Amino acid sequence: MKTWLAAVATALIVTLASPALAQDGRGWSLAIHGGAGVIERGSLTPEQDAAYRAALDSALQVGAEVLEGGGSALDAVEAVIQVLEDDPLFNAGRGAVFTADGRIEHDAAIMDGTTLDAGAVAGLTRTRHPISAARAVMEDSPHVFLIGQGAETFARDQGLEEVEPAYFFTERRWRGLVRQLEREGLPVPARPEGAPAEGAMATVTPPLDERKFGTVGVVALDREGRLAAGTSTGGMSGKRWGRVGDVPVIGAGTYASNAEGCAVSATGSGEYFIRATVARDICARIAFGAAHPQLAAADLEQRRAWCETRAAEGDICLVSQLLPGIAEARAEIAEVGALGGEGGVIVMTRAGRVIFAMNTSGMYRGRVAEGEERRVAIYADEED
């Protein structure tokens, strides 16, 4: 088993315990991400920083209303991701990146931790909310994963809203693709049919050379103690040959299991998250530690020793970093880094504890729990 020590040099963890939550699930908790990558304080203007924070806060509010009203974790995951899919700031739904041939192709997945039911889609081009298509696959088909035209046909048969491909177009993503293809010496495709006139860019938009992974994801725990996870993305800018990343691969980019006490959504360089089976491994590690109290106690001592070492070096080690789940998430992100990948994860435990782990300089993220205020963050060194 990979050790937690391997991750110390590469991953930053921020974790928040939710005192309002009880072990028996009588409180709810929600966490979201909007992508991880090279997101440094100097790379966003004050207006851009504020726009991202406002978007994350609005999405959290939607999820909080669902859970506060007695809705299920699955309902909250779908509702929040729909909001993020409609926001052009993120690489999901409207605002997704383009393939090398000038198309926008969406991938999404959702998982119910109580039943291990899951649904995933890849290569959608017209379904407005890919996350809803993934949920429909889970609930209304005998399958787990549908792709391309078949997935589109299924979504249409389920009555899900369709839009013209131009609906997803944003000028900044298009210009980003053009710059990328020119840099790589590849042909630039014709501007998509129905796209707005050239130059119609949003007032608040990240820099065109921003290198980040804008996948969106949500993990949730409802008042019944049910866990759920969901993730949605436009994938990798300039992708070719029908490339699919980790998002719709259950156990890699998305996973939830009440039995293991864990829900995970990942963001980053998908090829590496697939190879490291990140989402499932985090949950398996958490379950293994819970089932072996002696090992868990030993791990706790190791964590205390690590904190003492960090403190001696002048770094900050929060007491919350000793809590279960931290080492498990850290180890998986370290494995991604060792393979050459970048990114992060959000983790929800059965106690409602939220864990953010990343080996990048930032991750758009936020959390809220019953009886607590909404909190959002962007930069890796920022308290959530």
**Is there a contact between 371 and 21 (Cβ–Cβ < 8 Å)?**
no
Contacts of 329 (CB under 8 A, 6+ apart): 11, 13, 282, 345, 347, 355, 357
Q: Which one of 15, 170, 205, 215 is the catalytic residue?
A: 215
**Is there a contact between 347 and 384 (Cβ–Cβ < 8 Å)?**
no
| Helix intervals (H) in 241-358 | 270-275, 278-291, 293-312, 326-339
Of 98, 101, 54, 114, give the one whose Cα is nearest residue 256: 114
Of 122, 119, 96, 86, give the one whose Cα is nearest residue 107: 122
User: What is the residue type of 184?
Assistant: E
| Burial degree of 261 (CB within 10 A; 0-12, 13-18, 19+) | buried
Of 41, 78, 88, give the one whose Cα is nearest residue 217: 78
277 is catalytic: no
Contacts of 296 (CB under 8 A, 6+ apart): 289, 290, 324
The structure tokens listed for 340 are: 């050459």
Catalytic residues, by residue number, are 215
